[in-house]
């Protein structure tokens, strides 16, 4: 029976490359010269460090631009509050991956309400959609793409 999986993943290599590009641009830009502004990564947590909060906002713009150029959807980022100390501002951004329960339920509801003869099942951090016709699966993909969830979705493991 044909099926596919709905997932939300980020290419780790592209993420690393984008962060390297951001740090390289921060080192070369005139308004950041000598400021020790940088982006640090610890697993799924990005930390933006700069002397002032307005520089943090500039850094997030640079980060979003570089992510867009590397093909990473910025909807996967969840930014916290800017914390300010005496000589440093800090912003922690979480890189979210995987389909959470609420989004998985919304995908299953969307597939079931579409009227297509498909089954959708939540399997951990992904949703498996299966049916008898490949055309129905392609219509389901188009529906899910058009739904514009808060997290970016990809389709993997398409089987005939």
Question: How many CB atoms are located within 10 Å of the residue 156 CB?
Answer: 10
- Please state which CATH number belongs to domain 12-95: 3.30.70.990
Share above pLDDT 70 across residues of the chain, in percent, rounded to a whole number: 100
Per-residue pLDDT of 59-107, as tens digits, reads 999 999 999 999 999 999 999 999 998 889 999 999 999 888 899 999 9
d(CA 13, CA 17): 6
Domains 3-8+98-159 and 12-95 are alike in CATH topology: yes
Q: Does domain 3-8+98-159 have CATH number 1.10.540.10?
A: no
Secondary-structure breakdown of the chain: helix, strand, coil percentages, each rounded to the nearest 5: 40, 30, 30
For the chain, domain boundaries = 3-8+98-159, 12-95
């Amino acid at each position: 029976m044909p099926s596919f999986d709905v997932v939300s993943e980020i290419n780790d290599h592209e993420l690393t490359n984008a962060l390297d590009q951001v740090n390289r641009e921060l080192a070369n830009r005139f308004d950041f010269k000598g400021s020790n502004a940088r982006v640090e990564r610890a697993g799924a947590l990005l930390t933006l460090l700069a002397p002032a909060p307005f520089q943090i906002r500039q850094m997030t713009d640079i980060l979003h631009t570089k992510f867009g150029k590397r093909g990473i959807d910025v909807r996967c980022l969840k930014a916290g509050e800017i914390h300010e100390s005496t000589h440093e501002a800090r912003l922690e951004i979480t890189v979210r991956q995987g389909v959470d329960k609420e989004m998985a339920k919304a995908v299953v509801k969307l597939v079931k309400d579409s009227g297509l003869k498909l089954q959708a099942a939540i399997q951990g951090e992904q949703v498996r959609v299966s049916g008898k016709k490949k055309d129905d699966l392609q219509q389901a993909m188009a529906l899910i793409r058009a739904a514009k969830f808060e997290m970016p979705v990809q389709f993997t493991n398409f089987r005939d």
